[in-house]
Structure 1
């Protein structure tokens, strides 16, 4: 009887999840957002004003997500390779907890000096590879799924004014626009 219980436990440690993909699903919306901010800055160096037109494109339901996939206690890493509609590709590797079948968070959309997005608008063909560190870095599961990023209509935030006692704020469009979109919940 003990052998049967051990065998069942072994099987459950390599069970496969029914779903492989992002926790939020396979369809996202790329929504352009925009609006205007009038910034007034007063300081000991004087007064200045700046009028910013803020624009961004946000991914909904979220800009980042976790990968959900096969269950296996040995799993420690997951690699996602996305081939986008324009045939460009991006590869990202992240930690993976084989017991829960979940990865650390992947950046799906944010593009900055230090970050590049996994996805682009249109169809994204994603190939995943699950790796184990024991005995060496070996692939033991892989598969494919598609993610659709649809373009949505532009949302416009109301025009607003900010006042600052720091004159340098009138030269910080990026941070002012981030504050603006956060205040208006991405123009919702």
Structure 2
């Protein structure tokens, strides 16, 4: 006699639990790939969407064993595809790193920020240090000073345009200004001694 023979698990309940998990995975994939969707990012979403449609139409009518086998096998396939797209994105980022980008060295001519001497000689870096900007904020402000747009900065730094905007807004707050012109004027002028 089985230990839990008195508990009857019904297919519709399991079907709804699988649906909840599948929709969560779809949301994760959408969130992870936003805003730069590529064709390979849609493949796991389509597989999960087909599974959701199957669960909504036929899932609750099938026996429990078939329901679990179909859902688990398709979920493993979808998670495997998601993992492969994740690995491919990592390879793309490492293969087109900042040092390999032909535009990057010309676009950003900052010294190594980690090794700034105690007495900086560059007024730009001195002003950035006074305002406590992060390394990424310094990069964004430097590219703004070179006349780059948010979209161009995002492509050079391999980040989204909303992240560029966030770094710019943080720089505005830290510098105590509210527009790009005032920010650049503050950082590019020689500080008074």
TM-score by length of 2: 0.20
More helix by share: 2
More strand by share: 1
| More contact order relative to length (CA 8 Å, sep ≥ 6) | 1
TM-score by length of 1: 0.21
